[in-house]
Chains A and B, each alone.
Chain A
Amino acid sequence: MSDGPESPALPPDDDSLAFDHLDRYVESMHRLDEGQQAEFLQDHPELLPLLACLDSLDSIAPVPATLPPVDLIDTNARTVINQSGAPAEAGGDTFVTSPVHPTEFGKYELQGELGRGGMGVVYKARQTDLDRIVALKMILSSQFASEEEVRRFYDEARAAGSLQHPNIIAIHEVGEIHGQHYFAMDYVDGRNLAEILRDGPIEVERAAEFMQIIARAVDFLHEHKIVHRDDESGTPHLTDFGLAKLFDSDSHQTRSGTIIGTPSYMSPEQAAGRISEISPRSDVYSLGTVLYELLTGRPPFREDNPLDTLVQVLEGEATLPMRINRRVPRELELICMRCLEKEPNDRYQTAADLADDLDRFLKREPVAARPSGWIHKLRRWTRREPALVSRWGGLAVAMGVTQLNYSIRGIDVHFEYFVRIMSVLGVWAIVCFVFQRMLHRETARNFGQFGWAAADSVFLTTVLCLADGPLGPLLVGYALLVASSGMFCRVRLVWFTTFVNVLSFVALVKLRPDEFSLIHYAAIFALVLTVVGFIVAHQVYRVRVLSRFYDRRSLP
Chain B
Amino acid sequence: MSRLQGVSHWLAHNDCTSMTGDVSLSELLNQARDGDDAARDLLFEKCRAYVNVVARARVESWMRAKVDASDLVQQTLLEAHRGLSNFQGTTEAEWLAWLRRILDHNAVDFIRQYRGTKKREIRKEVRLNNAASDVSQRRDLDPSAGMESPSELVMRRERDIEVAEVVSQLTDDHQEVIMLRNLQRLPFDEVARRMGRTRPAVQMLWMRALRKLETILQQ
Q: Report A's interface with B, CB cutoff 8 A.
A: 1, 3, 5-6, 9-10, 15, 18-19, 22-23, 26, 30, 34, 37-38, 41-42, 48-67, 85, 93-94, 96, 98-102, 111-112, 124
Contact = CB atoms under 8 A, between A and B. Distances in A.
Given A6-B200, A41-B6, A99-B146, A61 B185 contact: yes
Contacts of A85: 112
Interface in B145-188: 145-149, 152, 155-157, 159-160, 162-164, 167, 178, 181-185, 187-188
A198 B63 CA distance: 36
10 contacts: A10-B203, A26-B181, A38-B3, A48-B6, A49-B214, A51-B7, A58-B182, A100-B145, A100-B146, A124-B145
Interface in B167-219: 167, 178, 181-185, 187-189, 198-200, 203-204, 206-207, 210-211, 213-214, 217-218
B72 interface: no
Interface string B36-74: 000000000000001001100110011111000000000
Given A3-B188, A22-B207, A56-B163, A63 B148 contact: yes
Nearest to A54: B182
Nearest to B60: A62
A96 B63 contact: yes
Nearest to B149: A65
Interface string B100-114: 000011011001100
B78 interface: no
A94 B200 CA distance: 31
A49 B13 CA distance: 11
Contacts of A41: 2-3, 6-7
A63 B147 CA distance: 8
A52 B58 CA distance: 22
Given A19-B207, A52-B159, A85-B112, 15 more contacts: A1-B187, A9-B198, A15-B204, A41-B2, A53-B210, A53-B217, A54-B182, A60-B53, A60-B57, A96-B64, A98-B107, A100-B104, A100-B145, A101-B108, A112-B146
Contacts of A99: 62, 146
User: What is the predominant secondary structure among interface residues of chain A facing chain B?
Assistant: helix
B141 interface: yes
B1 interface: yes
B11 to A, nearest CB: 6
A406 to B, nearest CB: 57
> Which 8 A-B residue pairs are closest in the complex by CB-CB distance?
A9-B200, A57-B182, A56-B163, A37-B3, A38-B2, A66-B146, A41-B6, A111-B145
User: What is the predominant secondary structure among interface residues of chain B facing chain A?
Assistant: helix
A60 B50 contact: yes
A111 B203 contact: no
B81 interface: no
Contacts of B107: 98, 100
Contacts of B160: 56, 59-60
B146 A111 contact: yes
Contacts of B149: 65
B210 A22 contact: yes
A112 B144 CA distance: 10
B112 A112 contact: no
Contact of A3 (B53, B57, B189): B189
Contact of B210 (A30, A50, A55): A50
Q: Which of B6, B65, B119, B206 has the most CB of A within 10 A?
A: B6
Contacts, number: 139
Interface size class of B (residues with CB under 8 A): 35 or more
A556 B131 CA distance: 42
A190 B39 CA distance: 41
A93 B188 CA distance: 22
A495 to B, nearest CB: 32
Nearest to B145: A111
Given A10-B203, A34-B3, A62 B61 contact: yes
Contacts of A1: 187
B42 to A, nearest CB: 21
B124 interface: no
A26 to B, nearest CB: 7
A53 B213 contact: yes
A266 B159 CA distance: 44
Given A19-B207, A26-B182, A98-B111, A93 B64 contact: yes
Nearest to B207: A19
Interface in B1-21: 1-3, 6-7, 10-11, 14
Contacts of B156: 59
A50 B213 CA distance: 9
A23 to B, nearest CB: 8
A48 B159 CA distance: 15
Q: Which of A10, A52, A60, A98 has the most CB of B within 10 A?
A: A60
B108 A53 contact: no
Contacts of A96: 62-64
A56 B155 CA distance: 10
A513 to B, nearest CB: 56
B6 A57 contact: no
A67 B107 CA distance: 13
A168 B94 CA distance: 37
A112 B200 CA distance: 36
A6 B148 CA distance: 35
A62 B57 contact: yes
A102 B108 CA distance: 10
A20 to B, nearest CB: 10
B16 to A, nearest CB: 15
Contacts of A124: 145
Nearest to A113: B146
Nearest to B11: A52
Contacts of B188: 3, 23
A62 B58 contact: yes
Contacts of B54: 60, 62
Contacts of B217: 49, 53
A61 B54 CA distance: 6
B183 A57 contact: yes
A64 B148 CA distance: 10
A423 B155 CA distance: 61
Nearest to B155: A59
Contacts of A57: 163, 167, 178, 182-183
Contacts of B142: 111
A1 to B, nearest CB: 6
A100 B110 CA distance: 12
Contacts of A38: 2-3, 6
Given A30-B185, A49-B214, A50-B210, A56 B145 contact: no
